[in-house]
Amino acid sequence: SAVISQKPSRDICQRGTSLTIQCQVDSQVTMMFWYRQQPGQSLTLIATANQGSEATYESGFVIDKFPISRPNLTFSTLTVSNMSPEDSSIYLCSVEFLLRDRDQETQYFGPGTRLLVL
Amino acid sequence: RKEVEQDPGPFNVPEGATVAFNCTYSNSASQSFFWYRQDCRKEPKLLMSVYSSGNEDGRFTAQLNRASQYISLLIRDSKLSDSATYLCVVNMRNQGGKLIFGQGTELSVKP
């Protein structure tokens, strides 16, 4: 397993500003992901953070709005740019890990960042 | 149609009850299947994998039917601490390891 931390744990921001969320893992991992969970909803993948190259974004998410950095194998950041109240959500990072007994990959999640945009 | 669909909740059951959650997925190329548990205001945590042969972990039994594209989770002898939202999750390994989440089913176990 991996220990994943996120900063900040929560924030209240004004519309039009930007917030950068940090995700730190205690071991080197190849795959890191960023998800959003809006109130009362399940998780939606924003993008895959690729080390050494540009992130891969899912449909409906663009780099200008959610720029992502992945400078090394233990760290990533997600920026929520030019925020509006619709960006109020929980943002979670995750890392892929291998379940060795059946050779399956799944993901561990960080504790999340709760964002409220006023 | 959603890629992963779950029973609508919430499920309100007494302690000691047996409760079953169902889930269907639409993409036959889906390759790995999981149940995650999410407590209120917490991140999702892996509960168990789901295999075609069925697998059991204590009071929890998971089953996969690939032909019907159907996944289930059975909880026996429910405890108060089982109260949470249970997420059905599909791994699309041919899409870079992307996880697709169901909307979740809320379980509330009452004394």
Q: How many angstroms separate the CA atoms of B47 and B50, rounded?
A: 10
Closest CA–CA distance from residue A17 to any residue of chain B (Å): 25
pLDDT digits (tens, 9 = 90+) for A10-47: 999 999 999 999 999 999 998 899 999 998 888 999 99
Query: What beta strand segments (E) does chain A contain?
Result: 4-7, 10-13, 19-25, 32-37, 43-49, 56-57, 68-72, 75-80, 89-99, 104-109, 113-117
**Mutation for A interface: B35, B40, B86, B99, most A CBs within 10 A:** B99
3-state secondary structure A28-61: CCCCEEEEEECCCCCEEEEEEECCCCCCEECCCC
Q: Hey, are the CB atoms on B98 and A48 less than 8 Å from each other?
A: yes
Tell me, what DSSP letter sits at residue B59?
T
Q: Is A100 on the interface with B (CB under 8 A)?
A: no
For the segment B6-56, what is each residue's pLDDT rounded down to a tens digit?
A: 987 899 999 999 999 999 999 877 778 999 999 998 999 999 999 888 889
Which residue among B32, B43, B91 places its CB closest to the CB of A110?
A: B43
